[in-house]
Amino acid sequence: MRKPTFPLRSTREGRASFTQAKLAKPDPWPTSSISVVDLTALRNRDELEVIVASVLFDLIGPTKLILWRIARHGGELRLQRRVQLTQGHVAVSDMLVDPSGLPALDSRAELRACYESRAPLRVAACRNSRHGQVFPVASEREIVGFLEVYHRAALSEDQVRLVCGLLRIYRNYLRVLDYGECDELTELLNRKAFDDYFATLVMPQTRLPEALAQPKRLGKRRAASADQHPWLAVADIDHFKRINDRFGHLYGDEVLVLMARLMRSSFRDTDRIFRFGGEEFVVVLGNTEGDFAEQTLERFRSTVEAFDFPQVGRVTISIGHTGINAGDVGSNAFGRADEALNITKQRGRNQLQCHEHLAAQSVFQAKALIEAAEIEMF
């Protein structure tokens, strides 16, 4: 079977950048070149979205197919056009898009109605298509996006069942991934998920089936300026053992669950939050300036300090953070942030420290000299 080739052509839509790829011929693919096997072979959720859209495009042959992802910004639901396929073109959005530049869910009445009903709905026709339909894309807990399909003829009942069936397979597969990647207590991502995510963060190459793997990089992750890059922060609940000893592990677990909720409300959708175990959490901030990263982390620290934890009362948190550079290794970045966290604890806790700032002040060199002197005296 003829394999499509994808020469690149970049375009822009709002603040989301797209990579346009042109097929060898504009005719629709006669048979499915991508299968459900390709879907279940992947572990990267961002790549899974591309595969789901591509499989459905092959199977039902629409004139246009759009996969939307729901993003959150300031308590408002936004829409990110994650994948768009037409006969002859495929476009994949940049994952590190600023959600503040995305349209609100309420700007699309039909998508809002689909979100509320959690059921497929007819939508207005578009150019070259007389029929449109939107399907909710759900995880186990919530609606996470929409599949918008346009066709010259109304979808048959069999086609609707096919779409709904594949989306159910996708939902169940997400559940399997959640089970392996999420912390059971807090429902945050776990350390294994951190290792996988960090690898794609510093080496964002897309590993897709051969039919979609030319070029290997489907999208470009670009910071708004050279001063922007990701940041990694390690946060540790202060004196957590005292909480468990005084109030019991049941209340200690409740503190962890509430801390996870505070973290979700304090950081952006493009940020990633992990529980490493015990009272230790990791946050990876998307591309931003150092000052903004520090302001974001300080705002989170003060939010925790001001929160009234049931029965326990006041809880504080210490944070160490560092910048992530191209080619960085997860263990190295974590180690730098952890070093900064240790200085935070030595200086009284309930504060944050930046590894780069401490290194510029020669704090680590001085600490090493003191430790060496203590060992020699011993």
Do residues 52 and 21 touch, judged by C-beta distance below 8 A? no
DSSP, collapsed to helix, strand or coil, labels residue 72 as strand
> Which runs of consecutive H residues, i.e. helices, occur in 226-348?
240-247, 249-266, 290-306, 330-346
DSSP, collapsed to helix, strand or coil, labels residue 103 as coil
Active site residues: 279
Rounded-to-integer distance, Cα 246 and Cα 256, Å: 15
Give the residue from 99, 71, 100, 95 showing the smallest Cα distance to 83. Answer: 95
DSSP, collapsed to helix, strand or coil, labels residue 22 as strand
Do residues 308 and 255 touch, judged by C-beta distance below 8 A? no
Convert 245-254 to b/e letters by CB count within 10 Å (16 or more is b): eebeeebbeb
Rounded-to-integer distance, Cα 92 and Cα 354, Å: 35
11, amino acid identity? T
